[in-house]
Amino acid sequence: MKTFAFAVVICGFCVLQTSLAAQTGPRFYGDPPDDHHPWAVHDGNRPQPITVTPGTFSSQERPGKPPSDAIILFDGTDLSKWETSKGQPAKWLVKDGYMEAVPGTGEIRTKEKFGDCQLHIEWAAPATPKGEGQGRGNSGVFLMGMLEIQVLDSYHNVTYADGHAGAYYGVNPPMALPLRPPGEFQVYDIVFRRPIYKDGKPLDPGYVTVFMNGVLVQDHTMIEGPGGHMGRSRPGPFPAKGPLSLQDHGDPVRFRNIWYRELPPRPAEGGTDGWLSTEATMAKRKEIAAAIRKDAEQLISPDNPLPGMLRLMESLVYEKDETAMQKSERMAAEYVEGLKRLAPDKLAGKRDEVRNVSEVFKYLTRHGILPATFGPKNAIEQLIKDQGWDKKRQ
């Protein structure tokens, strides 16, 4: 682990800049952005993650509490958020905190439509098993009404591998069958990333990950179309949003505690976390630089030029801009000249500040953001040497 001593001091300048800066960490610290990453390593400008209050785990007797940012689809009380495939009121049974498929009434789907998500859903096959293979406790969870994650009483029940509980139906079997006995609630936690196409070509094929009762059964499985019975599924685009559908397959399967969390966009659809194309990276870097330059203008002050100067220099980390470069050099030269005009006792009080500004200049020249011949860098290093500040602190 690297020391944070220098970073913490430089962050002291950040406190002078904006309240946001004070919250987001040090500048001039980690490696700068590159052709595929718009953010520096440990970037103080990078947006902070949202705060989420975690939920609680379920027991057989009681469903758990969803996380604070979850969107509830079924809380055990009614089917007001559900409808039939024809848009009519859902006809399934609601009782004791669960819904139960009523054979012959057809599938139900959410009125709400959504795309990429973390989905939580709990289900239970009938406590008294009837039939075998696909004829035992059969239903399905259809993501966007298309891709089916199979629901089946696979407990000591043999069927074709890609039709077991936890299967991406007709495409990929579950890696294991970590089922509880029939009648008990099984827990699915699903991460779904839809396929993204542009002009008929895939930008991201999409993936589905499934945990059953806490055990991984689909490991970032690439989406090969919706799947289905007997026919080979083919890759293709999905809509931007779709409903969650639950299948009526003739068995009174129960469901409870259904909620989802929306997921942020991926790089293929405008997200800025992860490996981006060079074009997308440069566009985002340009946007970040413009915002920093605007912030720098608010900070520039003749009474205290340092925060504005450093903020303006920070913009150069993201985008080379000749005007900002020239202004930064002029401000830096004025800063150094101002130091030279200080009385010895006043200058002595600037020792730590000056040494840390020197480190900023070294960072910027080391990474090629400022030229190695950057005059203020050499001038401030000479000042430090003349004052004996280059010696180890006592």
User: What are 201-221's pLDDT values in tens digits?
Assistant: 999 999 999 999 999 999 999
- Which of helix, strand or coil describes residue 311? helix
Alpha helix locations (H) across 238-374?
278-299, 305-316, 322-340, 344-348, 351-366
pLDDT of residue 38: 97
pLDDT confidence tier of residue 194, bands split at 50, 70 and 90:
very high
- DSSP assignment letter at 234: -
pLDDT confidence tier of residue 24, bands split at 50, 70 and 90:
low
Nearest Cα residue to 221 out of 137, 150, 125, 123? 150
d(CA 384, CA 387): 5
Q: What mean pLDDT do residues 223-238 have?
A: 90
Nearest Cα residue to 208 out of 249, 171, 161? 171
Q: Assess whether pLDDT exceeds 80 at residue 338.
A: yes
Summary mean pLDDT of the chain: 92
Q: What is the pTM of this model?
A: 0.88
Handedness of CA 378, 311, 366, 371 (dihedral sign): negative
Contact 7, 29 (CB under 8 A): yes
Its CATH class, for the domain covering 71-267, is mainly beta
Q: Assess whether pLDDT exceeds 90 at residue 393.
A: no
Nearest Cα residue to 320 out of 277, 286, 294, 365? 286
- DSSP assignment letter at 267: G
pLDDT tens figures, 121-180: 999 999 999 999 999 999 999 999 999 999 999 999 999 999 999 999 999 999 999 999
Rg (CA), the chain: 30
pLDDT tens figures, 280-306: 999 999 999 999 999 999 998 888 889
Kindly state the percentage of the chain with pLDDT values over 90. Answer: 86
- Please spell the DSSP secondary structure of 104-125, one letter per residue: TS--EEESS-B-SEEEEEEEE-
Report CA-CA distances (Å) from 185 to 41, 124, 238. 44, 4, 30
Report CA-CA distances (Å) from 195 to 41, 50, 208, 259, 330. 29, 25, 10, 22, 50
pLDDT of residue 13: 43
Q: What mean pLDDT do residues 12-31 have?
A: 56
pLDDT of residue 355: 95
Which residue ranges make up each domain of the chain? 5-49+272-387, 71-267
Contact 134, 95 (CB under 8 A): no
- Which of helix, strand or coil describes residue 16? helix
In this structure, of 192-196, 230-234, 293-297, 318-322, the range with the lowest mean pLDDT score is 230-234
